[in-house]
Amino acid sequence: MKLLIQNDNIFKLDLIKFDQSKILEAYKQAVERIGFTEGLVNCISITKNVDNDENDPRGIFWTQDQNYNEVQIENKVDESKYTLFENKLKDTYFHTIYQELSLHFGLGRVRILKLGSRKSLSFHKDPEPRIHIPIITNPGALMIVENFAGHIKANGDAYFVDTRKYHTALNGGSHDRIHMVATILKSHFYQKLISY
């Protein structure tokens, strides 16, 4: 499969590039030190709530029922409170990535999300857009926003994904798909990305 053909809903952030080998090393450290939560969301939280030192792998989103009526799922998470960087990861490359992203964006929750082999997410929309940095992927892993689908490689690039629109991800491959995902609350240089 070819690299992602970009559109307004998914595209590479040209000003931001990371070292893929250092990302993989940081990922191994995160798995060893924290590990993934089990349940509906397989997650390692990189940031925590500054008020209570907790993390929340899920938050409010909307989907559609069988009659195409929009339905709210979960409760709102105050993303602006997620500014406490996970202490167990402060000496990893994820802290460097977080600092670099923070120069360009106001961030909410930052998480490592795992989508298992032959799995998919619900078709849903979120209240904010996201940055995706693929860590481990395979040619069968696709991002779909509205009627656009594409594959993004794990090569150190960061991608804007407009998750305020209906979207899903599917992993049709034989291996896990792992992405670092950061919620965008505001943008310092990419203002057009988050105009609501």
Q: What would the pLDDT profile of 153-172 be if each residue is shown by its tens digit?
A: 999 999 999 999 999 999 99
Q: What would the pLDDT profile of 18-55 be if each residue is shown by its tens digit?
A: 999 999 999 999 999 999 987 767 999 999 999 887 77
Burial class (CB in 10 A: 0-12, 13-18, 19+), 35: exposed
Q: What would the pLDDT profile of 100-150 be if each residue is shown by its tens digit?
A: 999 999 999 999 999 999 999 999 999 999 999 999 999 999 999 998 999
For residue 14, name the pLDDT band (cuts at 50, 70, 90).
confident
What's the token pair of residue 47? 């940031």
